[in-house]
Amino acid sequence: MTIDEPGGARRGAREEWDARAASFDDEPDHGLRDPLVRRAWADRLADWLPGRPGAVLDVGCGTGSLSLLASESGHRVTGVDLSPAMVALARAKLAGRDARFLVGDASAPPVGGQRFDAVLARHVLWTLPDPARTLRGWYDLLRPAGRLVLVEGVWGAVDPVGIPAERLTALLAPIAPDIRLERLSDDPALWGGPVADERYAVLARASRDDRGSGNDRASRTVGLAGTAGAAGRERGGDRSGFMPGAS
Ligand SMILES: C[S@@+](CC[C@H](N)C(=O)[O-])C[C@H]1O[C@@H](n2cnc3c(N)ncnc32)[C@H](O)[C@@H]1O
C-alpha cells in the first residue's frame, strides 16, 4: 500500500523515519529489550487497553514494540506507519501473530470501514500537522465504548518539542466524553532511568451509544487522576479506570 503525497513534507518525514528505523529500538523505551522496561509498559498497557481481547489500531506504530505487547495480551493489531522501514521491522517483530501492518498516514489511517476497540498512539501526535483534526478522525474510528490511548510528552529543555498534556486534553475535550490523564515522568522503569521532562498518557473513552465526534456531548468529565488503573479497580471498573456505563 502506498500513501498519497501532495507535497515533499511527508516524503521528507518518511525518509527521516526510514533512516532512524534500524537503530530505533536501541532506546530502552523503544525496543523494550530490558525486561523491567518491558514489564512496565506491559503493565500500563494492561491498564489502558480493553480487558477483553479486541481490535487495536497502533497509529505511527514504529517497529511495533507496543503492538507486540498488545498482541501478547490477545488483541488483534493493525499497525500503520508512514515509514516502510519501520513497517518492515514491525512485520518481522510480529510475524505469525494476528496482526497486520500498513504503510500509510496516521492522520488518515488506511483502514477502510474497520472500527477499533482502541486506537493507540505513542509519541506520534506531536509530529502531525493538525492534531485536532487527527484526534477527531481517530475518535471516529472507535467502536462504541472504545478508547483512545495517547502517550505523549515534551522533550528537551532548550528547544522543546512535543505536546503538553494541557494542550492535548483541551483538544480532546470537545470530542470525547470521558478523559483521563496519567502522568508518567515519575516512573523511571518506563524510560530505562529517571527523566526530567513531561511524559504522560491521556485516555479518552467513546460513549457507549454515540461514537461520532462533535460538540453536543451531554456528559463530559475530565479526570486528572494520577493512577487511573488503581482507581478503576477500586471502583469496580475495568483496569483503565473508566467506569462501566459512565458515559
Ligand atoms: C517516535 S516514533 C514512535 C513509534 C512507536 N509509536 C513507538 O512508540 O515505539 C514516531 C513514529 O511515527 C511515524 N510517523 C511520523 N509521521 C507519521 C505520519 N504522518 N503517519 C504515520 N506515521 C508517522 C514514524 O515513522 C515513527 O515510526
178 bridge partner residues: 205, 221
- To the nearest whole number, what is the mean pLDDT of the chain? 86
Best probe residue, ligand 1, of 81, 107, 111 (max atoms within 8 Å of C-beta) = 81
Which ligand 1 atom sits closest to the C-alpha of 18? 25
C-alpha 82/C-alpha 32 separation (Å) is 21
pTM reported for the whole predicted model: 0.86
Q: Which of 34-43, 100-109, 162-171, 236-245 has the lowest mean pLDDT?
A: 236-245
Question: CA dist 39 to 45, 179, 194, 212, Å?
Answer: 10, 25, 16, 35
In the block, residue with C-alpha cell 512485520: 91
Q: Indicate the pLDDT class of residue 240, thresholds 50, 70 and 90.
A: low
Instruction: Please state which CATH number belongs to domain 7-234.
Output: 3.40.50.150
Average of per-residue pLDDT across 67-77 = 98
Please tell me the distance between residue 63's alpha carbon and the centre of ligand 1 in angstroms. 9
Average of per-residue pLDDT across 88-115 = 97
**Residue 175 above 80 pLDDT?**
yes
Cβ within 8 Å of residue 120, ≥6 positions away: 48, 49, 56, 57, 58, 59, 66, 70, 149
The CB of 109 under 6 Å from ligand 1? The reply is no
Which ligand 1 atom sits closest to the C-alpha of 86? 27
